Structure 1
Amino acid sequence: MNPLRLGYLYGFGAYLLWGFFPLYFKLLRPSGPVEILAHRVVWSLVFVSLLLAALRNWGFLRELRHRRSTMAGIGVAALLIAVNWGTYIHGVNADRVVETALGYFITPLVSVLLGVAVLRERLRPAQWAALAVGTLAVAVLTVDYGHLPYLALLLAVSFGGYGLVKKRLGLPAAEGLFVESAVLAVPALGYLGWLAWRAEATFGQVSAGHTALLVLAGAATAIPLLLFAGAANRLPLSVLGLLQYLAPVLQLGCGVLVFHEPMPPARLAGFALVWLALAVFTVDALRVTGRRRRETRKEGPPLIASGIGRAPS
């Protein structure tokens, strides 16, 4: 199959699965958010371990032992993704799916803001305009909710920070998820053991289907990440950036159409401002990407004979 077409299939698969996550996590009741998070961590570790064993790809562990800065970065990434997962599960189980969708809508804007704050990146005027509109959207939603949409903001900041750390680490998807899950597995197992000791665990106590769904949380976590990695390796960044909006659109649809969460006019206005900010941000990104491609074509092919542009060996 054509690599570009395969990339689209991987990308759509990843974002479709992420988009329908609210339906899956609702099925895990009556398990509490922390118990679900602990199972998600443990079974992710099991699933990725089996995958890496099948691929016989354990060499990266020997390299990581001597890279203390990388291990510290993995610890930070693990903490951020645990906060993100836990916040999302809590939002779904608290009937706040619409607010979780908002969090993933504003994540690209938060990522831009983190680039300025952490990487000292300089923004173009259109990016500043998008951030200004996004800030106005948060203000409107604050008035609507009666408080800051802290759930959405926590999701956006944790996932934006996770993306920033992962970009610096540069680990492949499966290997990165394995180490992050391994870091989180000890407290997760400890919590599950504590629940079992207090006879408060739901695992194996509700139904066979509920137990199976908790076990499948590992595959449900790992498979979209692996599909996303496959898409990222085959698609232009601009295309991947557009595809990322598919997941929060589906999550919003689940919240409003399936779970019948309220969408009063003020909240809809806040979402409309977020979508306007994303439109400005996306159009600017596509314009800059197109200009760079035209400049690259004008420069002509690399001079292989002189060694300029030669791929590293």
Structure 2
Amino acid sequence: MLNQQQTGLIYGLTAYVLWGFFPIFFYYLSAVQPTEILTQRIVWSFVFVLVVVMLSGKQSRIKDALKSPATRKAMALSSVLIAINWLTFIWAVANERVLESSFGYFLTPLVSVMLAKVFLSETLDKYRIIACVFAVIGIAIQIVLIGSLPWVSLIVSMSFGLYGLVRKQAEVDSLSGLTIETAVLLPLAIAYWAWLATTGQSGFVSNGSGVTWLLIASGLVTALPLLLFAAAAKKLSLTAVGFMMYINPIMQMLSGIYFFGEPFDQAQLISFGFIWVALIVFSVGAIIQQRRMKVLANPVQ
């Protein structure tokens, strides 16, 4: 029998590995325009999570969450933010800019720290400050040596960082939250899908049954890792979850280099290197902070 830690580890690793394979999954949908992929992802994610909600009998959680005006506003905003994040990522895959996307997900923890400082007035220890400085240097190197603003990376990291910030303020679990978010986006998604179909631009059927089934499966591959992650988070420490989150951008980076064949030159290596150093410093600070909290919670008698 597996203990709680082992079960949580399996759930967490499975979730992050699935997220890491996202670029390859969406690559096989490149015949469909990114906006329609987003539309299909919203529709089928809603269908999947609604079935899970109905089977698990958790409808009351959604009703309770929607009773709060503050929660309704937060969920409306989080819906927009996750749609921006999804669309940017899908566009990056379609245009073979997966390395920029992975750079953005490497940046996300550091962006979240800076947002927490700005919006929640959280104090930054020396480790977080140093990590943020290294991250800024990494971005600056991209601008100077590569010669362009890494806007894909910035949109990915900012949209997901803001999404996490907003969701932190909303008292709603992961399953209920995704159900509400996709429900908010659903009318627009269906309207856009109908317009594509009536104008003969929809790729849902015209690109073959394989693409059709992959579009339907996009709902499952969107919701399943989130549910696995939520289950893992209940069984593992924040440090363990924090370290596993790097699996996703590492896998995306490797798929960008070896599957998509994107160039990874010295300038990019230096830029990524500063981000990796920033994450190491950030992680060391998180470990030290957690150990201090344990000591305070369980002082030696």
Unaligned runs of 5+ in 2: none
In the TM superposition, residue 61 of structure 1 has moved relative to its aligned partner by 3.5
Partner amino acid, structure 1, of 2:189: A
Superposition TM-score, scaled by structure 2 size: 0.97
Q: What secondary structure, in the 3-state scheme, does the structure 1 residue paired with 2:206 have?
A: coil
Task: Give the match for residue 59 of structure 1.
Answer: 60
For 1:62 and 1:75, locate their aligned partners in 2 and report how far apart those are by CA, in whole Å.
15
In the TM superposition, residue 65 of structure 1 has moved relative to its aligned partner by 4.1
In the TM superposition, residue 92 of structure 1 has moved relative to its aligned partner by 0.6
Cα deviations across residues 101-131 of structure 1 (Å, max 9, x unaligned)? 0000000000000011100111111211111
Task: Give the match for residue 309 of structure 1.
Answer: none
For 1:283 and 1:77, locate their aligned partners in 2 and report how far apart those are by CA, in whole Å.
30
For 1:65 and 1:156, locate their aligned partners in 2 and report how far apart those are by CA, in whole Å.
28
Q: What secondary structure, in the 3-state scheme, does the structure 2 residue paired with 1:233 have?
A: helix
1:246–1:21 distance in 2 versus 1, CA, 3 Å? same
In the TM superposition, residue 154 of structure 1 has moved relative to its aligned partner by 0.5
In the TM superposition, residue 167 of structure 1 has moved relative to its aligned partner by 1.2
Q: What secondary structure, in the 3-state scheme, does the structure 1 residue paired with 2:30 have?
A: coil
Task: Give the match for residue 28 of structure 1.
Answer: 29
Q: What secondary structure, in the 3-state scheme, does the structure 1 residue paired with 2:241 have?
A: helix
For 2:217 and 2:66, locate their aligned partners in 1 and report how far apart those are by CA, in whole Å.
30
Partner amino acid, structure 1, of 2:286: A
Cα deviations across residues 40-62 of structure 1 (Å, max 9, x unaligned)? 00000000111111112211233
For 2:223 and 2:213, locate their aligned partners in 1 and report how far apart those are by CA, in whole Å.
16
Equivalent residues in 2 for 1:4-153 (5 A)?
4-153=5-154
For 1:13 and 1:142, locate their aligned partners in 2 and report how far apart those are by CA, in whole Å.
35
In the TM superposition, residue 220 of structure 1 has moved relative to its aligned partner by 0.5
1:278–1:65 distance in 2 versus 1, CA, 3 Å? closer
Aligned residue pair count = 300
In the TM superposition, residue 299 of structure 1 has moved relative to its aligned partner by 5.8
Equivalent residues in 2 for 1:254-273 (5 A)?
254-273=255-274
Superposition TM-score, scaled by structure 1 size: 0.94
Q: What secondary structure, in the 3-state scheme, does the structure 1 residue paired with 2:207 have?
A: coil
Unaligned runs of 5+ in 1: 301-313
Compare 69-78 and 167-176 and name the one that shifted more.
Answer: 167-176
Equivalent residues in 2 for 1:243-254 (5 A)?
243-254=244-255
Structure having the higher Rg: 1
Task: Give the match for residue 4 of structure 2.
Answer: 3
Task: Give the match for residue 201 of structure 1.
Answer: 202
Alignment of 1:157 with 2:154, yes or no, is: no
Query: Identity over aligned residues, as a percent?
Result: 38
For 2:300 and 2:112, locate their aligned partners in 1 and report how far apart those are by CA, in whole Å.
31
